[in-house]
Amino acid sequence: MESSLPDAERPRRPEWMKVRAPSADSRYFDVKKLIHGAQLNTICEEARCPNIAECWGRGTATFQILGETCTRACRYCYVHSGRPESPPDPLEPLRLAQTAFQMGLQHVVVTSVDRDDVPDRGAGHYAATIRALKAKLPDCTIEVLTPDFLGVEEEALETVLAACPEVFNHNIETVRRLHRAMRGGKADYDKALWLLRRAKELAGYPVLTKSGIIVGLGETNDEIVETMRDLRAHGVDVVTIGQYLQPSSKHAQIDRWVHPDEFRRLREQGEELGFGSVFAGPLVRSSYRADEQRHAAETGRGAVAC
Positions in the binding site for ligand SF4 (CB under 6 A): 43-44, 49, 51-52, 55, 60-62, 285, 287-288
Please give the sequence-ordered ranges of beta strands (E in DSSP) within the chain, or none if there are none.
Answer: 41-42, 62-65, 107-112, 141-145, 167-169, 208-215, 238-243, 277-281, 304-305
Supply the minimum distance, in Å, between the C-beta of residue 47 and ligand SF4: 6
The three-state secondary structure class of 51 is coil
Other Cβ atoms within 10 Å of 80 Cβ, number: 13
Supply the minimum distance, in Å, between the C-beta of residue 43 and ligand SF4: 5
Nearer to ligand SF4, 31 or 203 (CB): 31
Cα within 13 Å of Cα(279), Cβ side: 24
Nearer to ligand SF4, 159 or 243 (CB): 243
Nearer to ligand SF4, 159 or 277 (CB): 277
Provide the H-helix boundaries in 27-80. Answer: 28-37, 43-46, 52-57
Supply the minimum distance, in Å, between the C-beta of residue 229 and ligand SF4: 25
Supply the minimum distance, in Å, between the C-beta of residue 215 and ligand SF4: 16
**What pairing do the DSSP bridges indicate for beta strands 238-243 and 167-169?**
unpaired
Supply the minimum distance, in Å, between the C-beta of residue 88 and ligand SF4: 21
Nearer to ligand SF4, 60 or 246 (CB): 60
Supply the minimum distance, in Å, between the C-beta of residue 38 and ligand SF4: 16
Distance CA 103, CA 7 (A): 40
In whole angstroms, what separates CA 19 from the centre of its chain? 19
The three-state secondary structure class of 225 is helix
Q: Which residues pair with 173 in a beta bridge?
A: 213
Nearer to ligand SF4, 27 or 285 (CB): 285
Nearer to ligand SF4, 22 or 235 (CB): 22
Distance CA 279, CA 304 (A): 6
Distance CA 238, CA 300 (A): 11
Distance CA 70, CA 52 (A): 21
Nearer to ligand SF4, 58 or 176 (CB): 58
Supply the minimum distance, in Å, between the C-beta of residue 25 and ligand SF4: 18
